[in-house]
Amino acid sequence: MNEKNTDVKQLLVKEPLKLDCGLTIKNYPIAYETYGDLNKSKDNAILIFHALSGDQFASGTNPITKREGWWATAVGPDKAIDTNKYFIICANVLGGCMGSYGPNTIEPSTKKPLGTNFPVITINDMVNAQRNLLDFFKIEKLFCVIGGSMGGMQVLQFVSNFPDKTRTAIPIACTASHSAQNIAFNELGRQAIMADTNWKDGKYDTNESLPNKGLSVARMAAHITYLSKKGLQEKFGRKLQERDDLKFGFDADFQIESYLRYQGSIFVDRFDANSYLYITRAMDYFDLIKQYNGNLSKAFEKTLTKFLIISFTSDWLYPTSENREIVIALNSIGADVAFLEIKSDKGHDSFLLNVPDFLNAIKNFLNNSYKNIK
């Protein structure tokens, strides 16, 4: 494995990786970013797994989009995940569009993006690819793996695949098996993209017209699922958008309409439509329960990892009940597990926002756990 110097940090993985679809890849890049310093004993490393729309730039300023890192509320000096104390690694997932091997990777023979020639990947594939970062940094055992939503799925898969490679794990607002409801929402987004005439069966030229209308609608639909009814009502209600009365047309009469349109418009500037298809498909394929023949506890029976599992009261996308199933499975094998349901009206997005009880819980768990290994 070699590090390749580009606008983003990339690890070129030479070792073959057999994907769940049956294909094998090698010489593929994994884009990553680091924060803080790795200490001499190399026992302070935390691997962050990002969610669907995230990337490796968890904190600071994203050098590509020039926007603040997606988890700046939690990651940074003296924050919940303290970069003065811990060495943070965050990678762009396989299938992503921020430098890792994905649909917008240029195929040498055609000098065009792979598009839908890219193989269908899974959460398991993503985790196995990122495992190479431990070897690159010569880290024998991580202090923690942490992530929310799809990131939480990766946490569960990582601990299952590599039971001796992390001391602690914090899966946040996630599930062990993607539900029919969530598959349905993802399919709605995929169909919006594929119905866009600029999608061209995934063979669109990134320098020409892009399927931005479809991707924007996909983002709008998904964004609704990240919020809560109470939060939406309190923030927007039936407030009109810069007008005193209804206009009896199809412009954005309501503030919530304008808000969703804005979310869709800014998303297309930083995300690739084909990556959206592939990553949502990976989420839908995630079923750790099925991987272990219906017995989730078997996924963790070899681990000595200490867990903190967190859910939010207003999260209807990955509700507390689904997080409790993970807790029950861990309890059944006598694992070291703590569970917190955080009160919040911010919905699924709570883990990305300034929710003091949540951030304090992470900080205290990490600090107390780290004291115990010193």
Residues acting as catalytic residues:
149, 315, 348
CA contacts within 13 A on the Cβ side of 137: 27
Residue 171, φ and ψ in degrees, nearest 5: -80, 130
Q: At what angle do helices 150-161 and 273-285 cross, to 10 degrees?
A: 50
Residue 25, φ and ψ in degrees, nearest 5: -120, 155
Cβ contact 316:113 at 8 Å = no
Strands 166-172 and 142-148: parallel
Length of the chain: 374
Look-up: residue for tokens 């709008």?
220
CB environment 247-286: b (16+ within 10 A), e (fewer): eeeeebbbbbbbbbbebbeebbeebbbbbbbbbbbbbbbb
Strands 9-13 and 2-5: antiparallel
Number of CB atoms found within 10 A of residue 164's CB: 12
